[in-house]
Structure 1
Amino acid sequence: MKVRSITAGANLFLPFDASGFSAVGEFLKLAKEAVSRRGIEVQTTRVAGDRLNGVLDHHGKGAVAELAARLDAACRSEGVDLGSIGTLDIAGAYAPTGFASELAAAVAQNERVFASVLAVYPGLEVNYAAVLETARAVLDLSRSSSNGFNCRRFALGAHIPPDGPFFPSAYHDGGPNAFSIALEAADLAVEAFGKTPELELACADLKAAFEERCRPIEEVCLDLAARYGWRYIGMDISPAPFPRPEVSIAAACEHLGGGPFGSPGTLTAVRTIKRVLKAVELRKCGFCGVMLPVLEDSVLASRVSEGRVTLDQLLHYSAVCGTGLDTIPLPGAASERQLAAVMLDVCTLSAALNKPLTARLMPVPGKVAGDRTDFDSPYFGNALIMPLPQGSMRHFFGD
């Protein structure tokens, strides 16, 4: 198990407060050192900003690009690995318009910058036009790099609570500085379900492993909060995978279910792990569910490439998993309406179940269904491009 990220939530405004950001960077350095002294590797430090709607309302066109550039430069200066300019609230009748090109450009032109939109929020209806424009932003991002890799830094979120640690959907609640912890912990599930054949014992082993391994991190975080006056939100104990079989949540599900991921029983295996996570006694935040990122899980990528797992199945599993549709490799010729239709299904599922979900879709220019991706990143594997059925959704998006 490793700490994927220590994520700070801070208010990022224009004009950009460089000295305030420097204090955030200094806190993250102290936090990383404190956790590392407990023998736990910290992979990244991150900063997430507030809702972007205020920036657009007060500063107009060009403000998002300026904020992204300032954030990217500040992250480099202060040694912060990644930064999110925050989320743009697009739910309801008063969603902003014309945001796609500016949001996509802000992400594409700044290598450390992430962003998201929030499409489902309690009490507000899904804005179909805004979801369609979000799909346009995804396509703009896809075309901004030769292999569509910039799409990894942008997502649509639904019912996402503030101050979770995982990117791209993380955003701050607008209050005083806060921080939270993200884990890479699929190996705990692989070990628990691989060594113990009896279900209840394996589940008990996994719960105990999380509590034993995470308690020292929690102690450090509570001490940091008390010492420096920051709010400790909690830990997202979602067992995020890494593209190696021993750190694959799909492999853990296969140990649990006894068959290839995607076969009957997979949904039950995913929900079983979710139930264990719910029982873990720690201060928790964020998703705290099973993450199924196709390109970040080598076993899941293999099952997709073998044709055992489809886009519809992944949406089906989203009913009980953590993040929804994550790092989905799609044909480069996908249309706005095709992508928006997938996003609407995620929004609908989130609204119906009142649960946080995301859609991080990755159309790859020049690739068609059945081609293999060629990403070169330690955090990403490769898989075959998944087919994307055609659908016009004309009653939702117009003719």
Structure 2
Amino acid sequence: MNIRSVTGFLSLADPLDDAPIRALGDLVRAARDEFARARFPVQTARLATQPFPEIAPTDLKQFARDLEAACKANGIDYAALGAVRADHRLAPLDVIDDIPGALIATENIFASAQIASHEAGINLGAILATARVMRALADAIPAGFGNFRFAALANCPPHSPFFPVAYHHGNAPAFALAVEGAPLAVEASAIQFSISRH
């Protein structure tokens, strides 16, 4: 089993205070050491924020640059600006239009927009807004890598460790592990099959 990522979840503010990011960096270093001793290498360290409209940065592009720099300084490989909650029909969609600028201005920042949920249904306006983002990223960043860092979400809860889906909910810091466990699942299935044959 490989640990794809240790993902930390933080509520941040603008202007950015890097103290919580430093604390996450300390946690990541300790986790890497402990997992390495147990022979589970950690491939990446990640940070996901609350939905970025809740942060209300005055300049999303600059906030993304500052976040990227703070993460790099603290041993965190990637950061996700928390998902825009655009699943309800009254959601302000103009914030989605700011996403391409933030992703184009950075290399390791991710973003997403929740366009549908069981509770609120599907927001067709949000689908159109996210399609514009995807087109802008496809045109601006070669080989499709811009869209590697953006996702339109449906029914995705907070605290998933996988990017670009990851986002935080609540004030208390949290973390999750993204594991690559296919070999472990195959082994468990083989053991179960072997036991059932006896």
Same fold by TM-score greater than 0.5:
yes
Residue deviations 1:36-85 (CA, integer Å, cap 9, x gap): 111111101111000122234xx45x3x2222111111111111111111
Question: Residue 98 of structure 1: CA displacement?
Answer: 2.6
Map of 1:19 onto structure 2: 19
1:68 and 1:91 map into 2 onto residues whose CA distance is 23
Q: Distance in 2 between matches of 1:82 and 1:203?
A: 42
Which of 81, 84, 87 aligns to 2:77? It is 81
Indicate the structure (1 or 2) with the bigger Cα radius of gyration: 1
Q: Which ranges in structure 1 are unaligned for 5 or more consecutive residues?
A: 205-399
Deviation of 1:190 (Å)? 4.7
1:71–1:85 contact (8 Å) kept in structure 2: no
Q: How does 1:53-202 map to 2 (within 5 A)?
A: 53-56=53-56, 59=57, 62=59, 64-191=60-187, 196=190, 201=193
Aligned twin of 1:247: none
What is the letter of the counterpart of residue 9 of structure 1? F
In structure 2, distance between residues paired with 1:24 and 1:74 = 11
- The structure richer in strand per residue is 2
CA distance in 2, matches of 1:106, 1:179: 24
**Counterpart amino acid of 2:41?**
E
SS of 1:87's partner is strand
Alignment size in residue pairs: 196
The answer to whether the 8 A contact 1:115-1:168 is kept is yes
Question: What's the offset of the Cα at 1:30?
Answer: 1.1
User: Is this contact kept in 1: 2:48–2:81, CA < 8 A?
Assistant: yes
TM-superposed deviation, 1:87: 0.8
Partner residue, 1:47: 47
CA RMSD of aligned residues (A): 2.1
Residue 70 of structure 1 aligns to a residue whose secondary structure is helix
- Unmatched 5+ residue regions in structure 2? none
Q: Please say if residues 84 and 96 of structure 2, whose CA atoms lie closer than 8 Å, have aligned partners that are also in contact.
A: no
Structure 1: how far apart are the matches of 2:113 and 2:186? 33
| Cα distance change of structure 1 residues 120 and 46 upon mapping to structure 2, 3 Å threshold | same
8 Å contact from structure 1 (residues 52, 88) kept in 2? yes
**Matches of 1:157 and 1:203, distance apart in 2:** 40
CA–CA distance in 1 between the matches of 2:145 and 2:187? 31
Matching residue of 1:369? none
Q: Distance in 1 between matches of 2:195 and 2:62?
A: 48
User: Counterparts of 1:350-389 in structure 2 under 5 Å?
Assistant: none
Q: AA paired with 2:3? A: V
State the distance in 2 between where 1:146 and 1:152 align.
11
The whole-number CA distance in structure 1 between the counterparts of 2:65 and 2:137 is: 16
- Of all paired residues, the percent bearing the same amino acid is 33
1:33 maps to what in 2?
Answer: 33
Which of 1 and 2 has higher RCO (CA within 8 Å, sep 6+)? 2
Work out whether residues 12 and 85 of structure 1, in 8 Å CA contact, stay in contact via their aligned partners in 2: no
- Aligned 8 A contact 1:2 1:42 in 2: yes
Q: Would the aligned equivalents of 2:111 and 2:149 in 1 still touch at CA under 8 Å?
A: yes
Ranges of 4+ aligned residues in structure 1 off by more than 6 Å: none
Letter in 2 for 1:140: A
**Any idea what SS the aligned residue of 2:122 has?**
coil
1:203–1:80 distance in 2 versus 1, CA, 3 Å: farther
2:33 is matched by which residue type in structure 1?
E
